[in-house]
């Protein structure tokens, strides 16, 4: 992410006639993006209500957006909590490269915990077969890391428009000692008031961009000129087709049988999850403006290219109960 300098900041408002001479230099008022103001409010509640928050960073556009919002919420102070990446070991190399560069520029602390370690310790068993993915295994690594650092609030980039079960998620979502989500017993959230009171051992998942849609995120990235990993833009990639979806064939991570033919296609990714469960879409959108207009006209939902949701009608709800992001 670029460091925003004063002169780089875009202001669309017109200078009004100003009475007080001492503030004559100022533009009138900040933008009226209600979602941005809401997210900043939520970040500040996290910093005020919790002892040890952490921002769960995946290298995807949603968590990159979170980082920008956190910067805005606490300026001129630094973001008052670390970032944590649960690395499946199956990330797109572009994402990891991007992550490290961003962290260095921001000067924030990054914690990385690896799914590979959980596998080596025998805590989880690697899936096998055609649809093998490490996506589910992340949950164990995440819960262990929460316990290791005693995090009491984990900030994530989940949005309610992504998926039906997420549509029921609270902004402050309480998890028990086992990291579990009790969807039938959620705290009501009234007006702007957020209740972060918990017992020792519990933690709260916090979703500052709950009310954003995919298009809202992309429009924000465009307006704020936020740098994102290159795989979000159209590029040539060796791919193969399965179940009507396009999979990357550039690494050995996605299982490919011999009859699944490799072809070079112009593609981009709409989400950057674990490679083994993230399909690409055919696209020529190679700039942020083109991506935004592509999303605007899109006929397929964002998670339509995520095989992890297609396992069953209730796939996401089940994963969330178990402590998934």
Using CA atoms, how far apart are residues 191 and 152, in angstroms rounded to an integer?
A: 23
Positive or negative, the CA dihedral 130, 135, 136, 138 is positive
Please, which of residues 223-252 interact with another protein by CB under 8 A? none
User: How far is the C-alpha of 9 from the C-alpha of 6, rounded, in Å?
Assistant: 5
Segment 138 to 197, residues that bind another protein, using CB under 8 A = 160-161, 164-165, 167-168, 183-184, 186-193, 195, 197
Locate 236 and state its tokens.
């040539």
Q: Does 213 contact another protein by CB under 8 A?
A: yes
Residue 112 β-bridge partners: 85
Closest to another protein by CB, 284 vs 318, is 318
Quote the least distance from Cβ 325 to another protein, whole Å: 17
Between residues 86 and 174, which has the closer beta carbon with respect to another protein?
174
- According to the binding rule CB under 8 A, does residue 4 interact with another protein? yes
* Residues 56-85, mask of contacts with another protein (x by CB under 8 A): ---------------xxxxxxxx-------
Backbone angles phi, psi at 218, to 5 degrees: -65, -40
The reply on whether position 96 binds another protein by CB under 8 A is no
> For 303, left (φ over 0), alpha (ψ -120 to 50), or beta?
alpha
The residues near 151 (Cβ < 8 Å, ≥ 6 apart) are 52, 53, 54, 84, 145, 203
| Binding residues with another protein: total (CB under 8 A) | 69
CA distances to 54, 176, 277, 299 from 202, rounded to whole Å, are 14, 5, 30, 40
Write out the two tokens for 319.
């994963």
User: Which residues ranging from 274 to 313 are in contact with another protein (CB under 8 A)?
Assistant: 298-301, 304, 313
Between helix 61-74 and helix 214-224 the angle, nearest 10°, is 60
Q: Binding another protein by CB under 8 A: which of 216, 222, 227, 250?
A: 216
Beta carbon of residue 56, minimum distance to another protein (angstroms, whole number): 21
The site string for another protein over 8-47 (x = CB under 8 A, - otherwise) reads: -x-x----x-x-x-xx--xxxxx-xxxxxxx-xx--xx-x
Q: How many angstroms separate the CA atoms of 118 and 122, rounded? A: 6
The verdict on 262 binding another protein (CB under 8 A) reads no
Least distance from C-beta 276 to another protein, angstroms? Answer: 20
Calpha distance 304→151 (Å, rounded): 32
Tokens coding 73: 């919420």
Contacting residues toward another protein, per CB under 8 A: 4, 6, 9, 11, 16, 18, 20, 22-23, 26-30, 32-38, 40-41, 44-45, 47-48, 71-78, 160-161, 164-165, 167-168, 183-184, 186-193, 195, 197-199, 210-211, 213, 215-216, 219, 298-301, 304, 313-314, 317
């Amino acid at each position: 992410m670029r460091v925003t300098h004063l002169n780089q900041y875009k202001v669309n408002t017109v200078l009004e006639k100003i009475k007080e001479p001492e503030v004559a230099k100022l533009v009138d008022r900040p933008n009226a993006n209600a979602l941005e103001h809401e997210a900043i409010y939520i970040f500040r509640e996290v910093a005020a209500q919790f002892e040890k928050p952490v921002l769960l960073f995946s290298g995807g556009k949603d968590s990159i957006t979170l980082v920008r919002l956190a910067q805005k919420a606490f300026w001129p102070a630094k973001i008052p909590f670390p970032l944590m990446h649960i690395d499946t070991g199956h990330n797109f190399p572009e994402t990891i490269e991007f992550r490290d560069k961003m962290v260095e520029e921001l000067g924030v602390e990054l914690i990385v915990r690896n799914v590979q370690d959980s596998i080596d310790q025998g805590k989880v068993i690697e899936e096998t077969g055609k649809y093998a993915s490490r996506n589910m295994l992340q949950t164990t690594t995440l819960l262990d890391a929460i316990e290791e650092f005693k995090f009491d609030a984990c900030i994530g980039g989940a949005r309610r428009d992504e998926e039906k079960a997420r549509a029921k998620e609270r902004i402050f979502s309480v998890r028990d000692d086992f990291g579990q989500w009790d969807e039938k017993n959620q705290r009501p959230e009234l007006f702007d008031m957020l209740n972060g009171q918990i017992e020792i051992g519990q933690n709260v998942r916090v979703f500052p961009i709950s009310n954003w849609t995919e298009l809202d995120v992309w429009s924000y990235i465009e307006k704020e000129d936020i740098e994102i990993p290159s795989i979000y833009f159209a590029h040539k990639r060796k791919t193969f087709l399965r179940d009507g979806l396009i999979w990357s064939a550039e690494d050995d991570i996605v299982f490919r049988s011999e009859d699944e033919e490799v072809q070079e296609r112009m593609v981009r990714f709409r989400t950057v999850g674990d490679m083994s469960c993230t399909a690409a879409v055919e696209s020529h959108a190679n700039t942020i403006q083109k991506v935004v207009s592509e999303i605007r006209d899109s006929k397929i939902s964002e998670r339509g290219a995520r095989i992890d949701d297609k396992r069953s009608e209730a796939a996401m709800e089940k994963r969330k109960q178990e402590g998934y992001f």
